[in-house]
Amino acid sequence: MKFLKLVCLLFIVSLLVTSCKNESKQEIAIVDTANIYVKGTMDAELTSPPFVPAPVGNRSAKKLLVNMEIIEKEGTMTDGVQYLYWTFGGSVPGSFIRTRVGDLVEFTLSNHPDNKLPHNIDLHAVTGPGGGAESSFVAPGHEKTFSFKTLNPGLYVYHCATAPVGMHIANGMYGLILVEPEGGLPPVDKEYYIMQGDFYTKGATGERGLQPFDMTKAIKEDADYVVFNGAVNALTGDNAITANVGETVRLFVGNGGPNLTSSFHVIGEIFDNVHVEGGDLINKNVQTTSIPAGGAAIVDFKVEVPGTFILVDHAIFRAFNKGALGMLKVTGEEKKSLYSGVKQEGIYHPEGGTIQTMPETKETKEKVVAVVKEKSLLKKLKDGKQVYMNTCFACHQAEGQGIPNAFPPLAKSDYLNADVNRAIGIVLNGKTGEITVNGKKYNSVMTRQTLTEEEVADVMTYVYNSWGNNKTNVSIKMVQEVKNK
């Protein structure tokens, strides 16, 4: 009897050992992505932000042909501010590349003949020297081809790695490459591509004209703009991403840097799933996720109620003063059981780069009157609108309607039209305390705006010549007279 028990025990142990060996072999087969069989060839679909190519799904591994062109081009950083971007595929961030694990990617990088500089590409998804940078250095008017196998699933950054590396990245040379696992990612209703970057200009934040890159500011990490998808307002207004109530949304979020870490947050939403640093680890029920420079994350969530949901870097001055702000507009029926209350559309908007301080009761003023040539009314209105959108828009809104019970209207404002000098003084010095505008009382704070005399004249002229006001043309001399009282 003891002999039979011993035989049975040995048989069971043998089965367990055999099973473990088989499981070990299976595990090795799954992990050994280098030997995944490549079947067929296909052209990669490349998309500009905020759009992404179609999901990989269940397709087999293939030879994937990626053709990307480097283009140096002038673009708009914000209204009135131009910047010379260096781009992969003509956009910042560069074209989104979607692959699956085991693909053999044949990558051709072309440098447009009109470009001034050589470039290359370092893809963090590549296992090889320089992430491809050593094989892709290319002069204007030339192209280079190299290939690599996608070994690890995840969301990866790519960027230029030509010296000085920081300058090439800071000028917009970054993007994302997704390597989906075998069988693809779980399906969702909407997918979008968002990438944060910090920019450094010779002029101050909001200073008009074509602004060149400033290496000194970049080294000090003193960014003038921190933006999503290459520009202020790239994801607001008509450029906002959209979804319908009840849909699941996936955001592929990257951070090109070159310097700053992103604290990515969607105001009014909670991330159901976050692929931490774009890898396999999934964190659930996340409010804000940290994305390092040169890193990425995949966030999924379901939109349950309608409204405008604001995307921000929660290092919050970057959002409201430097541009790291976007919008997800969700349409559909309200669900009062989930969220009830008065919706205030448009309360979250960039506040501009102007330094704002609390009003002071006493201030020493130096009486200096400079002789400045006045601009034409048309030019003042154009420049004044830019100052308004950068500085006043958040509180007083696009049509000067203000925000009920918070900030008074500027449109058809009896308070404004009654005394131009008083209005100029409020812009220069700020104001606290109760006022009555169009029969309604407001008791809030108007911060003192650090604007030049010319900017004050421009923005006041724009306001007075808009929305049914009295069409006063505010001169720099008028501003100086109020300032020197």
| Binding site per annotation, positions for Cu cation | 119, 124, 159-160, 168, 173, 314
Q: What residues are designated binding site?
A: 119, 124, 159-160, 168, 173, 314
CA-based nearest residue to 325, from 245, 203, 231: 231
For 146, other C-beta atoms within 10 Å of its C-beta total 17
**CA dist list (Å): 423 to 114, 411, 443, 479:** 50, 14, 16, 10
- CB–CB of 309/235 below 8 Å? no
Q: What are the backbone dihedrals phi and psi of residue 178, each rounded to the nearest 5 degrees, phi first?
A: -100, 130
| Integer Cα distance of 362 and 475 in angstroms | 25
